[in-house]
Amino acid sequence: MMEKAKYLIIGNGIGGLSAAREIRNHDKEGTIILVSSEPYLTYYRPKLTEGIFKDYTADNLLVNDENWYREKNINTILRIIVEKIDLDKQLVQLDDSREIEYEKLLIATGSRPFIPPIKGKYKQGVFALRTLQGLYEFKDYLRSCNTVTVIGGGLLGLEAAWALKQLGKEVNVIEFAPYLLPKQLDMELAHQLEERLNALGLNIYTSSQVEEILGEERANGIRLNGDREIAADAILVSAGIRPNLGLVMDTPIEYNKGIKVDRQMRTNIENVYAVGDVVEIDGMVLGLWTAANEQGKIAGANMVGQEMEYKQPKIFTRLDIGDIKVYSAGNINEYDRIYEYKDDSKGIHHKIFTRDGITTGAILFGEIKNMNKFNTAIASQLPVKELLKEDDRFK
């Protein structure tokens, strides 16, 4: 007998869970079925990185336990892959040959790690961290490793490198750009960050491209441009994400980098919605937990007939490693003036970037307790003289 769902959700990341919660807030009776290929209920994916050196179990990381799903009457089907969506018949086919009919469908299939086309990338000992299962496998492998190389010096790469350092490993970070965090920092502050990270014992390689992963079956090193070779018992790739679009590729659902959705999180097909890492809004794939959570809420509300619009968040970046604190927000590349405050004795260096007298971006290095003030100033396009009235330290 075919199963029927009023609301069918594919994927149980935070976007899928948030939608299910919102649907149930408005519709107490409608059947909700949530299908996931993972063996676990929704867990806090952002905590995977610190899980490298902390002993997290699945139970520590769950957003809600089994009782919550039972109370809300949300049916979960785990360890099952959705193989096909039939939009005409309004049903999906699962890999255990079951079929589920739906009235409203939400695609929340998330993303997978991007592994650049590096020679030797399929050797044993090359990892990318995206799932709890992947974390367990990586930690297991690390037991016999002394040196770990992280490919990618973005936020997640640096956080992973610090977690590995706390495990007592020798850690290399390979970054293709000429300096760390080029989207978030200018060259001067990036160099300060690099010095501080080196002082913590990380080996940072900028302007560096991995040309080959060395070793027979197991990775034992990498070769960089300029014929440099670095030993590595394990390699962690942190080079961004790619949306999981396999399910929609042979359907009329429109996609580009991600599934295209409007402000209600609707696709071009009337009763089909999408949220999270798999979607593209205004040409952007955000790949942020907070955005997926909010999008799920908006989609869930609209699926039950409420009218809600998603507003793109003002994105800021925060890095917290050891005693190093960095915050960055807004546009730091297009400006006509910079205001600065420095206190070398405390390791503080703050910059405000402006254009035509308007606050457009900010970087706080060393101390970030006022970051909310700068978030608000940038979001509201506050004239810089208003900002400087309450903070006369900037020159």
Q: What is the pLDDT of residue 314?
A: 79
pTM exceeding 0.85:
yes
Dump pLDDT digits (tens) for 89-118: 999 999 999 999 999 999 999 999 999 999
Look at residues 82, 80, 106, 116 and name the one whose alpha carbon lies nearest to residue 241: 116
Q: What is the pLDDT of residue 12?
A: 93
The pair of structure tokens assigned to 316 is 């800021």
Dump pLDDT digits (tens) for 228-267: 999 999 999 999 999 999 999 999 999 999 999 999 999 9
Alpha carbon distance 352, 363 (integer Å): 7
Q: What is the pLDDT of residue 2?
A: 82
Strand partners of residue 32: 7, 74
In terms of DSSP H, where are the helices of the chain?
14-26, 58-61, 66-72, 132-142, 155-166, 187-199, 289-303, 371-379, 384-389
Overall average pLDDT of the 27-54 stretch: 94
Whether the per-residue pLDDT at 269 is higher than 80: the answer is yes
Look at residues 104, 96, 85 and name the one whose alpha carbon lies nearest to residue 32: 104
Amino acid at 55: D
pLDDT band at 1 (very low <50, low <70, confident <90, very high): low
Q: What is the pLDDT of residue 183?
A: 87
Dump pLDDT digits (tens) for 326-382: 999 998 888 999 999 998 888 899 999 999 999 999 999 998 888 888 988 898 898
Dump pLDDT digits (tens) for 117-136: 999 999 999 999 999 999 99
Alpha carbon distance 121, 12 (integer Å): 29
Q: What is the pLDDT of residue 258?
A: 97
Q: What is the pLDDT of residue 395?
A: 73
